[in-house]
Structure 1
Amino acid sequence: MNQNLNIQELNIAIAAKQHNPIILTPDFLKYSGIVPSEWELSQAPILTNYAAQVKFQNGINIIAQVNKIVFTELIATKELKEVQIPAIARKYSQTLTQLEYQEVAINFRGHVLFEQQNNTARNYIFRTLLNPGPWHEFGKAPVQAAMRFNYTLEEAQLSLDINEAGLQLPDKTVCPIVLFTASFSHAIAQEDQSQRLASLSKIISNWHTDLEIYKEVVNTKFLNLPYQLNLVPNETVIPIAPTF
């Protein structure tokens, strides 16, 4: 198989005790230097006592919840050096140094497009992944699965969700795809505040290492199969099957 995973989205979620979501406003982000002052909003900010959202026209989305901050960016057409939310997430934590940061999840979403004929996306899940294969052999411990594959790695725990979905093309037709959604969970050193901040910054700075692992496990363990997949340019992902 020559096709590789089509990676769409990077998401960085930081768990932090005593994080108040009402702090997340466009003014706070710009005046603190977390985002450039010239960035324009794509919609009105959302602000409640329980959650807040600021979304920019460049596709970067920041959501604050009680005890969690989530940074999301579409990266399908970007080079690694053009990806911005790792730097934004670091600046956010360096601005709010008083928070007790606990954990970082580096998450990716990507897909592979299958042929229309013979329900190939469904067959891939039900006739391939439910049988023994190389996807069972990765990480340091036996894999656990319920269409979620949980791997133990050197520096993180990796959860890989695999779901059937549909891809809406520019002509409004929908093609079958299989979504591969990865979450790398990293614990943060808790000795003292300076060590927590240093650990958090290091984890976020090394996000591209998780990206390479994500591509490795999907491309070499799941897509290294004896039949051909046909990929076409993508537009909108539409779920058409339940999440397992």
Structure 2
Amino acid sequence: MNFNLDSFSIVILAQAHNPSILNPDFLRNQGIIDPSFKPNNIICTPPVAQVSYIEGVSIIAEFEKLQFIDSEPKRIPFESPILEIATKYINTLPHVRYTAVGLNYNGHYRCKDKEFALSFLPNKFLKEGSWATYGDSIPYIGLKFIYPLENIRCTINIDTTEVVRPNESPQTIIGITANYHLDSNNIEEIILFINNWKTQYNHFSKIILDTFLEGE
């Protein structure tokens, strides 16, 4: 099985973001976004604002949450522009009362067939029992792992689910999401955490490699 990383995002929490300032002109004029990027979806309302670009980057601002999302699989996370975009954004607004930051990785394994996908998690993590079947049905399994890493909390969710893509038959996959969360009201500490993203990604990569290579 090969792991596919679908999206990479940075979420910054604060007591009072200002969604109304988020628009393509603000991002370009402040030097936050590459001027060559072309916006293709813009929402500007008092409670939430969103600017998305055809290059695969989206920025979403709410009162208490700011999201930077990259959905271009060919470059994430190593060449993702959101690392620089996020740090430039909060440096532009240093007086906002930031409270936490999170790094998020969202991906999946495509399995050889539905039976393998449904049996992988229970075979690896769970004890056999009557719960494993109900009639002729095998349950879809979801697991959550929470790792305290000094001042960082890591939450990894693994579950089996079915996806339907245009012009394709439904396929059962093993979905994996990881969140690395740091509580901090110090902008320098938040930026340092973002810049050290490789440490968290290496931790995530080791977990999924150890888990799934052992299961093959």
Instruction: Please give the range of the TM-score, normalised by the shorter of the 2 chains.
Output: 0.7 to 0.9
Matches for 1:1-244 after TM superposition, within 5 Å = 3-43=1-41, 45-78=42-75, 81-116=78-113, 119-131=115-127, 147-168=143-164, 171-188=167-184, 190=185, 196-220=186-210, 222-227=211-216
Instruction: State the secondary structure of the residue aligned to 1:181.
Output: strand
Q: Tell me which moved more, 23-32 or 73-82.
A: 73-82
Contact 1:115 1:176 in 2 (8 A): no
Cα 1:90–1:9 shift into 2, 3 Å: same
Instruction: State the secondary structure of the residue aligned to 1:219.
Output: helix
Task: State the alpha-carbon separation in 1 of the partners of residues 4 and 198 from structure 2.
Answer: 16
Size of the alignment, in residue pairs?
203
Give unmatched runs, 5+ long, in structure 1: 133-145, 191-195, 228-244
Q: Amino acid of the residue matched to residue 191 of structure 2?
A: S
Cα 1:80–1:46 shift into 2, 3 Å: closer
TM-fit CA distance, 1:81? 4.7
Residue 231 of structure 1 aligns with which residue?
Answer: none
Contact 1:164 1:176 in 2 (8 A): yes
Cα 1:158–1:212 shift into 2, 3 Å: same
Instruction: State the secondary structure of the residue aligned to 1:28.
Output: helix
Contact 1:7 1:75 in 2 (8 A): no
Q: Amino acid of the residue matched to residue 120 of structure 1?
A: F
Contact 1:4 1:223 in 2 (8 A): no
Give unmatched runs, 5+ long, in structure 2: 129-141
Q: Amino acid of the residue matched to residue 144 of structure 2?
A: R
TM-score normalised by L of structure 2: 0.86
Instruction: State the secondary structure of the residue aligned to 2:214.
Output: coil
- Structure having the higher strand fraction is 2
Contact 2:8 2:76 in 1 (8 A): no
Task: State the alpha-carbon separation in 1 of the partners of residues 213 and 90 from structure 2.
Answer: 39
Contact 1:115 1:175 in 2 (8 A): no
Residue 140 of structure 1 aligns with which residue?
Answer: none
CA deviations on 1:1-39 (whole Å, 9 max, x unpaired) are: xx4522221110000111111111111111111002221
Residue 236 of structure 1 aligns with which residue?
Answer: none
